[in-house]
Structure formats: structure tokens, C-alpha cells
Amino acid sequence: MRVLWVILALIFLAAAFAPPSLSLALERLPRPALLGAAAFSLLVWGIAHVKARRSRQRKPILIDGSNVLHWRNGEPDLVLVKQLVQTLAQAGYAPGVVFDANVGYKISDRFVNDTRLAKMLDLPVAQVMVSPKGVPADPFLLEAARDTGAAIVTNDRFRDWQEEFPDTANAARLIRGGFKDGALYLEP
């Protein structure tokens, strides 16, 4: 459909600048009207193009934040999670991150909520979740993966949850990774 608008614009431009010796039905229209029609066609094409680009949803992918947090030497490192978020976003994904409630005590000296972690990770709050106190993040992570069809970046195999979430806790939906030789990596 977008190609049609470009073709129309070219036809109107051709008619506006066609020599009088050519017998085109459109040449009877005044040149400003033809130029206006060409501009309108290009405007409609531009709007359709922008809408098409915006409508292309980025594929969701979830990060087991409490797992990835420890990929560098086993020590909690939120910078690594942020690097993974940026890497996935640059690759065209819409990353979401789920943490256990104790994440704040691992990266600071107090509880840290979704809003604070979202700011630290440069993500919208809707893409970050901290599980409630005393409740593991795994079921929230697995349910979100099931609901969105997303893969999960983690080294966890979720064996305790495979009966409840057989579709998401299988190896095909889990992307392993780590930190080696000073760089973050993900297995294919």
C-alpha cells in the first residue's frame, strides 16, 4: 500500500512537469494542484511508513536478574545486568528483568523496589519486577515468559518449577550465558 502512494506522487509530478505535447488527462489540471497532490501522496506515504516502523514490536525477552547478577566472579554486579539489558535492546529485543526481593540487600544495604531498579537499569518501570518479600521470583518470571512467549536469559534450569511450567522451563526457552575474559556472552 505504501508503494502505491509513492507511485501516485510520481504520476502527479510527471503530469505537473510534462511537456504540453504529451496528451495526459492530468495535464489539464493546474500545476499547483498537481504539485499539491504529489505532496499529499508523499505525506500519506510518510505517515504510513512511520506507523509501520512503530508497529513493529520488539521481541520480548526476560532476564533472570537474580541469576545474571552473579555471573561475574559470583559477586553481585548490577552493572552486568545493565550491560545485558543494553546488549539485548541493541539487538532488537524488549528486555524485562525479574529479581528476587533480596536484590537490594545484595547491591546496597536496603530493600530496592521496581522503580529504583528500573532507574538503575535505564528501563521503564513496567519492564522491571522485584518479587514480594518471601516469594521467589521464579514463578513470576516463568509466568511472564509463558504469557509473552519470551525466552529467559538465565543459567537456572528451574527444575523445581517444571511441573507447573513445563512449556517455559525447558532448555529450548532458556538462554545460558556468563562473563568470561572481560566480556559478557550468551550461548546460541
Q: Are 154 and 67 in contact (CB under 8 A)?
A: yes
pLDDT at position 36 is 72
pLDDT at position 55 is 46
CATH of 59-186, one of 2.40.50.100, 3.30.70.3270, 1.10.3210.10, 3.40.50.11980: 3.40.50.11980
**pLDDT greater than 80 at residue 8:** no
Continuous H helices in 17-137: 31-55, 65-68, 78-90, 103-107, 114-121
Give the chain's mean pLDDT.
Answer: 85
**pLDDT greater than 60 at residue 151:** yes
Average pLDDT estimate for 90-100? 94
**Of 148, 144, 153, nearest to 173 (Cα)?**
153
Angle at 139 between CA 78 and CA 177, to 5 degrees: 45
> What are the b/e assignments for 114-140, b being 16+ CB within 10 Å?
bebbbebbebeeebbbbbeeeeebbbb
For the chain, give every domain's residue range.
2-55, 59-186
Measured CA to CA, the distance from residue 154 to residue 144 in angstroms comes to 14
Report residue 126's pLDDT band, with 50, 70 and 90 as the boundaries.
Answer: very high
More confident residue, 50 or 127: 127
**pLDDT greater than 50 at residue 109:** yes
Measured CA to CA, the distance from residue 41 to residue 34 in angstroms comes to 11
Q: 55-83, pLDDT tens digit by residue?
A: 456 899 999 999 999 999 999 999 999 99
Measured CA to CA, the distance from residue 23 to residue 130 in angstroms comes to 71
In single-letter form, the type of residue at position 74 comes to: G
Measured CA to CA, the distance from residue 93 to residue 74 in angstroms comes to 26
pLDDT at position 42 is 74
Q: Which of 16-20, 34-38, 63-67 has the highest mean pLDDT?
A: 63-67
pTM for the model stands at 0.70
pLDDT at position 25 is 61
Average pLDDT estimate for 136-158? 93
* Cell digits of residue 43: 505525506
